[in-house]
């Protein structure tokens, strides 16, 4: 559950920061978030720190990123930025 929440917040906050400045911000954040989530699990497996990467954690990371981007897109759809 914590992976979902953390990666959802990660993606959502990046969408807030970049959402209006980049046309394809959602795609970039999805790719970066998914890559980061997978790499952290691979790094845990490769490093000798007593931790093991877990495919279910990687899945929770991915679902969190998707939820964060999706929540931002849904919010922006129903609450558009006022035109200046």
Neighbours of 74 (CB within 10 A): 10
pLDDT at position 24: 84
In the chain, how many domains are there?
1
3 state DSSP class of 82: coil
Instruction: With respect to residue 32, please indicate whether it lies within any of the assigned structural domains.
Output: yes
Q: Domain residues for 8?
A: 2-78
Task: Return the percentage of the chain with pLDDT > 70, whole number.
Answer: 95
- The CA–CA distances, whole Å, from 27 to 19, 24, 42, 80 equal 10, 5, 22, 19
pLDDT at 81: 75
Q: Supply the pLDDT for residue 69.
A: 92
- Residue 83 counted as domain residue: no
For residue 66, the SS3 value is: helix
On whether residue 53 sits in a domain, the answer given is yes
Q: Quick check: is 29 in a domain?
A: yes
Residue range 2-25, pLDDT digits in tens: 899 999 999 999 998 987 677 788
Residue 28 lies in a domain: yes
What pLDDT band is residue 84 in, cutting at 50, 70 and 90? low
For residue 23, tell me if it sits in a domain: yes
């Amino acid at each position: 559950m914590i992976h979902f929440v953390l990666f959802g917040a990660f993606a959502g906050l990046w969408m807030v920061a970049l959402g209006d400045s980049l046309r394809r911000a959602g795609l970039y954040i999805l790719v970066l978030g998914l890559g980061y989530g997978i790499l952290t699990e691979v790094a845990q497996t490769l490093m000798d720190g007593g931790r093991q990467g877990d495919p279910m954690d990687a899945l929770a990371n991915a679902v969190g990123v998707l939820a964060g981007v999706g929540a931002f897109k849904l919010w922006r759809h129903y609450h558009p930025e006022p035109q200046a």
